[in-house]
């Protein structure tokens, strides 16, 4: 049984055929659905309905997806979850997650992969962070939560310093985060984006949390639940391209 069952999902896109296809697929999974043709229509629905999840394009005439995301997060930071599907954007993945979007899938997309992403977003934190990803890890990162140049926490991941190593997007890594009280949080994550840090000679990456080891799971979940950042994964304060 899909965890999307009985969830109310809003599909926002200016392409009627795409909306129809997504709505049909979601309804086969017993999700409840609503539709909007642009961001302005979407925010009206968000203000009047208890939406669990939004799937939205970014570029749309009559109100774009970023404005819809910003208005939605002003109303409620945690709900609905927000996933973009887009072929192109004036915004980078780093900026999109910093605005608060929990997911991003590029068009053309693989439908089973999209559904997998949606189910991930709708799964409770303890359940999803207990399941170790099957993807092999290539790198182990060790960072200090005391140092803002090494680590900035978001609601679903973190900006982490990677030194002279430039990680690849979609790469899976192991991490160890040292917190001021002496607790170490260890687990696995997926690289969403990478880039230079302020000195221009070293790198950092936006990493989505995918798994925490059982010994630190409860501590990690409390940290995430207490995080008030708009960013799902924070962006760099200064970008050097």
* Domain locations in the chain as residue ranges: 8-123, 130-226
Closest among 38, 45, 86 to 64, alpha carbons compared: 38
pTM assigned to the model: 0.94
Q: 130-226: which CATH number, 2.160.20, 2.40.10, 1.10.3470, 1.20.120?
A: 2.40.10
Nearest to 224 by CA among 127, 154, 160, 163: 154
The b/e string for 155-168 (b: 16+ C-beta within 10 A; e otherwise) is bbbbbbbbeeeebe
CATH superfamily of 8-123: Response regulator (3.40.50.2300)
CA dist., res. 105 & res. 109, Å (int)? 7
- State residue 66's pLDDT score: 95
Each of the 241 residues of the chain gets a pLDDT tens digit; together they read: 689 999 999 999 999 999 999 999 999 999 999 999 999 999 999 999 999 999 999 999 988 999 999 999 999 999 999 999 988 777 899 999 999 999 999 888 899 999 999 999 999 999 999 999 999 998 999 999 999 889 999 999 999 999 999 999 999 999 999 999 999 999 999 999 999 987 678 999 999 999 999 999 999 999 999 999 999 999 997 654 5
Q: Name the token pair of 52.
A: 């669990």
């Amino acid at each position: 049984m899909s965890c999307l069952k009985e969830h109310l999902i809003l599909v926002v896109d200016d392409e009627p055929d795409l909306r129809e296809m997504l709505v049909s697929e979601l309804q086969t999974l017993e999700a409840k659905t609503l539709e909007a043709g642009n961001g302005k229509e979407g925010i009206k629905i968000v203000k009047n309905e208890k939406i669990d999840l939004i799937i939205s394009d970014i570029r749309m005439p009559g109100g774009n997806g970023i404005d819809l995301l910003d208005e939605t997060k002003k109303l409620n930071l945690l709900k609905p979850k927000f996933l973009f599907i887009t072929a192109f954007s004036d915004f980078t993945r780093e900026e999109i997650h910093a605005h608060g979007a929990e997911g991003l899938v590029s068009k053309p997309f693989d439908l089973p992969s999209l559904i997998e992403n949606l189910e991930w977003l709708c799964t409770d934190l303890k359940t999803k962070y207990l399941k170790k990803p099957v993807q092999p890890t290539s790198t182990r990162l060790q960072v200090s939560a005391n140092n803002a140049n090494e680590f900035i926490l978001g609601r679903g991941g973190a900006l982490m310093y990677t030194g002279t190593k430039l990680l690849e997007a979609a790469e899976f890594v192991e991490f160890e985060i040292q917190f001021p009280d002496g607790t170490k949080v260890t687990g696995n994550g997926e690289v969403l984006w990478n880039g230079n840090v302020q000195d221009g000679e070293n790198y950092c990456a936006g990493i989505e949390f995918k798994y925490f080891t059982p010994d630190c799971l409860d501590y990690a979940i409390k940290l995430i639940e207490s995080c008030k950042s708009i960013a799902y994964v924070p962006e760099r304060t200064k970008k050097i391209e």
